Every structure is written in structure tokens, then in C-alpha cells.
Amino acid sequence: MEFWDIYDENKKPTGRTMKRNDWCLKDGEYHLTVLGVVARPDGTFLITKRVMTKAWAPGWWEVSGGAAQAGEESYEAVLREVKEETGLDARNAEGGYLFTYKRENPGEGDNYFVDVYRFIMDIDENDLHLQTEETDGYMFASPDQIREFAADGKFLHYDSIKKAFEM
């Protein structure tokens, strides 16, 4: 069973944990998620398509990410998520932490911080090993292509992370 740390409104750990997807958080409590935007030196970005069996946003485009596990630092979590979902090791990549945003869903028990990272890596298709339970394809997209997916309502978190696509 996976557990997540609970944070206060200042992104400080409270010392308590929650079960994954338990959605028991009170207003003013948060869990931590991470997003890893992977860019190539040519200015394109690795985006993946969510499998159609996902309960939420099936078939939408996204970047790698997920929840930090209990006791896991943000940077460790983003490296793990990128590795699990794409097979890429971003430890020696250029770039790193960009910014944090906060999402609040009052009364729903699901409030969270999102730490956004950008890694610049010279990768090609042979470097990718996609997690088939999570992804149903990928592409190296230009910022314009990503904006088009967002305009069509098919790119997760775009409004919150669009500055990560500015090189």
C-alpha cells in the first residue's frame, strides 16, 4: 500500500500520512505531486497520451508525473516518475526545478502542491521505454502543437504549466 505525506498550507510536512487516493484531506491540508517536463535541445517536448482505460482524462496528452510517496523528496519523486513512465534517467540532465503551484478542491479532500521540473536531454525514440499501463503513445511536440492540444481541451494541466514550455 502506498502512502503520501500530508503538508500544511506552507508546504511543510505535518508528520502525518494518508493512503494513496484516500481523499481525506481537510481544507488547509495538501499532498505533493510532481511533473517532469522533458525537453530536447531542439525545443521539442516529450508528451505522452494517457491510456483510454484511465478513469480521469483518458486519451489526453500530458507530461510525466505523479504523487510523491511518504518520505520521498520532490526531486527524488520526479526522477522516479520520469523513469517509471518513460524509461529515461534524468539525473544528469540539464535543468531542474522551475516552480510550484497549488490546487485546492474545497470539501473534496484532494488539495495538492505541484512541483514542476524541466529536464533538457538529448534523447531519441530508442531511449524511450513507456509504461504501457499509463501511456498509449507519445510524440516530441513543439510548443505550438502543445498549445493546440490545450486549445482542444486535450492537454492536462496546461494552464498551470504553460511557462514550462518556454525555452
How far CA 4 is from CA of 1, 33, 67, in Å, comes to 10, 10, 7
Q: What is the mean pLDDT of residues 10-32?
A: 93
Q: What is the pLDDT of residues 123-144, one digit of tens each?
A: 989 999 999 888 999 999 999 9
Question: How confident is residue 163, by pLDDT bands cut at 50, 70 and 90?
Answer: very high
Range of the domain at 129: 3-157
Asked if the structure places residue 78 within a domain, the reply is: yes
The mean per-residue pLDDT over the stretch 87-103 comes to 97
Secondary structure (3-state) at 127: helix
Q: Is residue 138 part of a domain?
A: yes
Whole-structure pTM over 0.75, yes or no? yes
Residue 16 lies in a domain: yes
State yes or no: pLDDT of 75 exceeds 90: yes
Angle formed at CA 70 by CA 34 and CA 121, multiple of 5 degrees: 30
In a domain, 118, yes or no: yes
Integer Cα distance of 103 and 111 in angstroms: 6
Q: Look at residue 163 and tell me if it is in a domain.
A: no
What sign does the dihedral 37-40-45-48 (CA atoms) show?
A: negative
CATH code, domain carrying 54: 3.90.79.10
167 located within any domain: no
Domain membership of residue 162 (yes or no) is no
Assess contact for 141 and 42: CB atoms under 8 A: no
- The residue among 59, 42, 62, 49 whose CA lies nearest residue 116 is 62
- Mean pLDDT across the chain: 95
- Whether residue 121 is predicted with pLDDT greater than 90 in this model: the reply is yes
Tens of pLDDT, residues 40-62: 999 999 999 999 998 889 999 99
Domains identified in the chain, total number = 1
Whether 165 maps to a domain, the answer reads no
pLDDT at 24: 86
As separate numbers, helices (DSSP H) first and strands (DSSP E) second, the chain gives 3, 9
Per-residue pLDDT, averaged over 140-150, amounts to 97
Query: Is 90 exceeded by the pLDDT of residue 71?
Result: yes
**How many CB atoms sit inside 10 A of residue 71's CB?**
11
Q: Quote the pLDDT of residue 102.
A: 96
pLDDT for 160 equals 96
